[in-house]
Structure 1
Amino acid sequence: MSKKFELRLESHELDTLHLKVCRVLREAILRGHFKPGERLVQEELASSLGVSRMPVREALRKLETEGLVIIEPHRGAIVKSLTVEDIQEIYGLRAQMEKMAVEMSVEHMAQEDIDELERLVVAMERSTDSSEYIERNIEFHRVLISCCPWRRLVAFIETLWNGFPQQTPQMLSDQTEKSKKEHREILQAVQQRDAAEAGRLVYGHIKRTGDNLVKALQES
């Protein structure tokens, strides 16, 4: 296992222990600290993080569902390769699908849904903790499409959310500030019941994030 960096858990009340472990390992994989084909040894990870093997085992299972590792019999978890094409595909699909879902969702939103979006935008604008910001960001996007009547479309989007998309605020140095501005603009379009504009803004928001993530990973 790679020894060039230090694995460190950050305390945050919104995360269970295995989700904290999962977040740390996910970022280490995406940043290239663990290389494709590298074996992740539960005992070594547990020792480095100061936890038992159970949360590490649960975290690795979650990372397997996200497509970041493969768990093989008698070998354990192996890091999968993640290509630029993978990122471009996922973010391209997200941009198109979430645009559609938001356009349909806005038309069916109740005032309490819009109020919840505003609460989340304000919470993100005030947040100084990256883990908290990520959780609010995920919830913001979830509420945006929650009233979409096409449930298969929503299910497809939720599948695409697995893995690195939720990690971008920690991976891109200027992502958070740009996203705060874009979230506020999306909220304003929803408040005006402008479904087309909200969809357009969501598309641009996701596309920009994907493009920046590809650039960051290529440079690293």
Structure 2
Amino acid sequence: MKRSHLRLHDRSTLLERVVSRLREAILRREFQPGERLVQEELAEAMGVSRMPVREALRQLEKEGLVTLEPHKGAIVTPVTSDDIEEIYYLRSVLEAIAVERSLPHLTDDDKRMLGQLVEEMEQAVKREDAEQFIAKNAEFHRLIRKGCRWRRAHMILEMLWHGFPPHTPGMLPGQMERSQAEHKEMLELIESGDAKRLSEVIRKHILRTGEAFKEHLAQDE
């Protein structure tokens, strides 16, 4: 099967782009669960060497999207509705706690940076620049929970952030706009020091995204 639509025309940050393109193709069911991903075919389709494809498949294995099997190579792992529900529910609970505990310890510089990130995300929305929005969104979420002193909470959240959660703005129609409106509300609560309300808003923000992602995959199927 021809995969010419996968071809990459911009070689900057090559590995990240290969990972992103393959991740999106898997989540959009362009590759079916159980399908074998052949490095040579993917490299040719993308117009890259085998090395970034090989590294990308290793990264996708860490994210749970492929399984690397001896003598078979990479096999697409099914992403189920239960997987999405589990990841987003756990994130919503733990991140809400982390943010509530973090807010009293955020500095004025942290708050200024959060304001700057919200502005940069606003510009990304206007330009329809999903990659920039994704990068700034990840920075925003990490910074907003920075002040939480629970290191295990940070470790678990980083694990839950691996894979598709950061990339939903590039996959769900209207997600950047909805998320940005919620980010602005979060910023107002940070500036007012309302940790309880901030915790509730971020919990709903994550759960809403999870539900939207489940609906999106169901439509693709």
TM-score (norm 2): 0.95
Aligned equivalent of 2:138 = 138
RMSD of equivalent CA atoms:
1.4
Code of the residue aligned with 2:69 in structure 1: it is: E
SS of equivalent to 1:200: helix
Q: Displacement of 1:4 after TM fit?
A: 6.7
Aligned equivalent of 1:170 = 170
Does 2:121 correspond to 1:124?
yes
Code of the residue aligned with 2:205 in structure 1: it is: H
| Superposition map of 1:65-84 within 5 A | 65-84=62-81
Match of 2:108 among 62, 87, 111: 111
Gapped runs of 5+ residues in structure 2? none
Q: Provide the rounded CA distance (Å) in 2 between the counterparts of 1:5 and 1:209.
A: 31
Q: Which runs of 4+ in 1 moved over 6 A?
A: none
Count matched residues: 217
Identity %: 49
Match of 2:22 among 16, 25, 30: 25
Aligned equivalent of 1:60 = 57
SS of equivalent to 1:156: helix
Preserved contact between residue 98 and residue 202 of structure 1 (Cα < 8 Å): yes
Q: Provide the rounded CA distance (Å) in 2 between the counterparts of 1:137 and 1:9.
A: 24
Preserved contact between residue 96 and residue 199 of structure 2 (Cα < 8 Å): yes
Aligned equivalent of 1:45 = 42
Code of the residue aligned with 1:52 in structure 2: it is: S
Match of 2:97 among 96, 100, 123: 100
Gapped runs of 5+ residues in structure 1? none
TM-score (norm 1): 0.95
Q: Provide the rounded CA distance (Å) in 2 between the counterparts of 1:3 and 1:91.
A: 34
Q: Provide the rounded CA distance (Å) in 2 between the counterparts of 1:115 and 1:191.
A: 10
